[in-house]
Structure 1
Amino acid sequence: MLNKIKGALFGFAIGDALGATTEFLTKEEIKQKFGQVKEIVGGGWLNLARGETTDDTDMTLQVARGILKNPKDPVEPIGEEFLKWYASRPKDVGIIISTVLGSYNGNWFETAQKAHYQYLDEKSAGNGSLMRCLPVALVYKDIEEMEAITRRQSKMTHYDFLADETCAIYNRIAYHVLRGKNLKEAIKDVLKGSMYESALKGEKPAFDPDGFVVHTMYWVLYWLLTCDSYLEVVVGAANEGHDSDTVAAIAGGLAGLACGFDGLPKEYVDVLAEKEEIERIAIELSKR
C-alpha cells in the first residue's frame, strides 16, 4: 500500500515538474524550443529551479495535510492550509482559487458560491480542485465517504457541479487502482455510463488541454488509455503544451499509483525539491 501511495504522490509531482517547463506553450512552440522535453529541467514561465513544482503539488500536499489533521471532517484544516499557503505569496495561484481565497468569509461553501455568481461570471469549472483531490482516494476505505469528501474539498473553491463530478470520477478510478485493479480496467469500469464514457474510444481530444476541467479530464484519460508506461504518460502530456503541468500531474498521479513507487524512474524522483516532504506525507497517509 505504501508503495502505491508513494507512487501516486511522486508520480503526480514528477508530472507537475516536467509539465511546468512547457506550460502555456503550444505543441509547435515546444518542438521549436526543446525538440522534446524528457527531463526535469525547470524554467518555464514561472522560471522554476530544476526539480521545483507548482501550485498543483502545493495544493495536493495541503489537502493531504488537512486530512491528516482531521480525517472525519477535513474541510477546515484543509482550508487553513490553503489560507496559510496563499498568505505566503506563492508564485502561481489559479484565478478561481485566488478569487475564493482572497474573498474567504469564514464559510468555504458560501464563499465559493458567491465567487461563482458575483466574481467569476458563473465560470468556476476550472481544474484546480481536480488537480488536488488525489489524497482523498488514498485515505478513505469506504468509497461513499471517500466520494463525499472528494466533492466537499472541490466545493470549497469550485462551485460548479462539473468540477466535483469530475473529481469524484477521477478518485473512483484511484480508489480501485489502490486496491489492485488494473488501471485501464478501472478507467473502463468507472467511465461506463458517466459523462466521460466517450473517452473510452481512445481518440485524441479535438480541443486544447486548457484549464476547463472537462477538457483536462479528457486529456488525462487520453494519455492513460493510450500509453503503456508511466514515463510515456507524463512526457506525452508535458509535450502537448497549454496547461501541461496540470494534465501531466493529474495523469501522472494515476499512472504512478498503478506502477507504484518502485516503478518510477529514480532519476526523476531524486531531482524533486520536495521529495522529503512528499515521502513523509505518503508514509502518514499509508497509516490511515
Structure 2
Amino acid sequence: MSARKIKEKLKAGIIVHLTADALGVPVEFKSREELKKDPVQKMRGYGTYYQPPGTWSDDSSLTLCLLESLINGYDLQDQADKFVSWLYDAYWTARGRTFDVGNSTRESISRLKAGQSPTRAGAGGERDNGNGALMRILPLAFYLLDADNEERFNKTKEVTSLTHSHPRSILGCYIYIDFAIRIIEGAELKNAYQETVEHLKDFIQDEAYKKELKYYKRILAGNIKYYNENEIKSTGYVVDTLEAAFWVLLNTDSYSYAVLKAVNLGEDTDTVAAVTGGLAGIHYGYSDIPAEWLRKLARLDEVLELIDEFSEKRLGS
C-alpha cells in the first residue's frame, strides 16, 4: 500500500477519533435509557462538562501526545513527558483545560512526574483495568505497520504500561492494535475481526496473558456481532469498551452511523465512541465525516498539521 493511502487512513482515523470523542463528551454518564429518549444526532455542547461543541477530552489529548511523540521515533520517556505536560499544563487539550481524567491515569502520570520509570509507572492492580490506555493507543498501529508480531506486542505492552500495566489492559490494547493494522492494510471489517481472533489464539502463549484471554471470550468466540444490544455494556472497563467497539463496527455500515450508535449506548460515551471511531475512520475514510462536525471540531488545523508531520517523517508522504 502506498504511503499516500496510509496517510489518508491515518488522517481519517485520528480525526474521526477526535470527532467521536467530541460527540460523546456532552452526554458522558447518561444512561442508555436517557439517550433513547433524546439521542445524540449532531455535535452538541454544554453538557456534562459544560464545554462548547466540538470539544474533545483526555482520550484525544493523549492520542495526540502519542502521535506527536512518535514523529521522532519510539521514546517512552518522551511519551511520558508529554503525558505529564497534558495533565499538569493542559498540553494538547482542546481548549486549554484538562478534564475527565481517570483515577488510574492520574495516579500513573503523577508517578511519571515524580520520576518513576515509564515502564513501571502504570497502575497494575485488578481494579486498574479501565480504558485509559485503550483510548489513546491508535497512533501506535501506524508506527508498527512494518514490525513483526513480537515487536508489536512488546511495544504495545510498554506504551500501555505508561498508565495501565495489568495484563488485561495490555491484552486489550494489543487486540485493538492488531485489528487496526489489519484494517489499515485493507481487510474488510468482518475479515479483519476473524483474522485477529485466529491470531490471538495462536500468538498468546505467555501464561500471564493466556489466562487473561477468558475475559475477552465474547470477542474471541468470533460472534460478538450477534449479541443483542442489551448484552453489550458501555462502561469504562477495558473489556466492555472493546466489546462495544467491535459490536458497533460489525453492526453498522458508515462512520457516522457507527459513532452515533456508540455514543448512544450511554455511560462512557466519549471513550466508547472514540475507540470505535478511530477504527471506523480508518475503514470508511475522511470524506464520510459530516462537514458540520468538522467545522465545530476544536483545533482541527493544528491536528491536521500534526498528521502531516507524522506522515512526512514516519510514512514518507
Aligned with residue 220 of structure 2, among 197, 203, 226: 197
Q: Return the alpha-carbon distance in structure 2 between the equivalents of residues 209 and 143 of structure 1.
A: 32
Q: Return the alpha-carbon distance in structure 1 between the equivalents of residues 105 and 59 of structure 2.
A: 12
Q: Are 1:179 and 2:202 counterparts?
A: no
Do the aligned partners of 1:143 and 1:175 also contact (CA within 8 Å) in 2? no
Q: What amino acid does structure 2 have at the position aligned with 1:116?
A: G
Q: What amino acid does structure 1 have at the position aligned with 2:21?
A: D
Do the aligned partners of 1:199 and 1:221 also contact (CA within 8 Å) in 2? no
Structure 1 counterpart of 2:11: 6
Structure 1 counterpart of 2:77: 76
CA spacing shift, 1:41–1:85, aligned 2, 3 Å: same
Q: What amino acid does structure 1 have at the position aligned with 2:11?
A: K
Structure 2 counterpart of 1:15: 20
Q: Return the alpha-carbon distance in structure 1 between the equivalents of residues 161 and 168 of structure 2.
A: 10
Q: Are 1:109 and 2:119 counterparts?
A: yes
Q: Find the residue that maps to 1:111 and give its secondary structure.
A: coil
Deviation at 1:154, TM superposition (A): 0.3
Q: Return the alpha-carbon distance in structure 1 between the equivalents of residues 265 and 180 of structure 2.
A: 24
Q: Deviations over 1:168-211 (max 9, x none)?
A: 11111111211222122111210233632135241136253111
Structure 2 counterpart of 1:93: 101
Q: Return the alpha-carbon distance in structure 1 between the equivalents of residues 173 and 254 of structure 2.
A: 23
Deviation at 1:261, TM superposition (A): 1.3
Structure 1 counterpart of 2:93: none
Q: Deviations over 1:37-81 (max 9, x none)?
A: 111112221111111100000010011111113x2x321111010
TM-score (norm 2): 0.83
Structure 2 counterpart of 1:160: 166
Q: Find the residue that maps to 2:196 and give its secondary structure.
A: helix
Q: Find the residue that maps to 1:227 and give its secondary structure.
A: coil
Structure 1 counterpart of 2:138: 134
Aligned residues: 278
Q: Find the residue that maps to 2:124 and give its secondary structure.
A: helix
Aligned with residue 268 of structure 2, among 243, 253, 257: 243
CA spacing shift, 1:180–1:98, aligned 2, 3 Å: same
Q: What amino acid does structure 2 have at the position aligned with 1:251?
A: T
Higher relative contact order (CA 8 A, sep 6+): 1
Q: Find the residue that maps to 2:266 and give its secondary structure.
A: coil
Q: Are 1:223 and 2:255 counterparts?
A: no
Do the aligned partners of 2:232 and 2:243 also contact (CA within 8 Å) in 1? no
Structure 2 counterpart of 1:125: 129
Q: Return the alpha-carbon distance in structure 2 between the equivalents of residues 28 and 127 of structure 1.
A: 23
Deviation at 1:88, TM superposition (A): 2.1
Structure 2 counterpart of 1:57: 60
Structure 1 counterpart of 2:32: 27
TM-score (norm 1): 0.91
Do the aligned partners of 1:12 and 1:252 also contact (CA within 8 Å) in 2? yes
Do the aligned partners of 2:130 and 2:238 also contact (CA within 8 Å) in 1? yes
Q: Deviations over 1:17-53 (max 9, x none)?
A: 1111221010122234xx2211111222111111110
- 1:144-159 to structure 2, matched below 5 A, reads 144=149, 145-159=151-165
Alignment RMSD (CA, Å): 1.7
Bigger CA drift: 60-69 or 141-150? 141-150
Aligned with residue 211 of structure 1, among 236, 242, 252: 236
List alignment gaps of at least 5 residues for structure 1.
Answer: none
Do the aligned partners of 2:224 and 2:243 also contact (CA within 8 Å) in 1? no
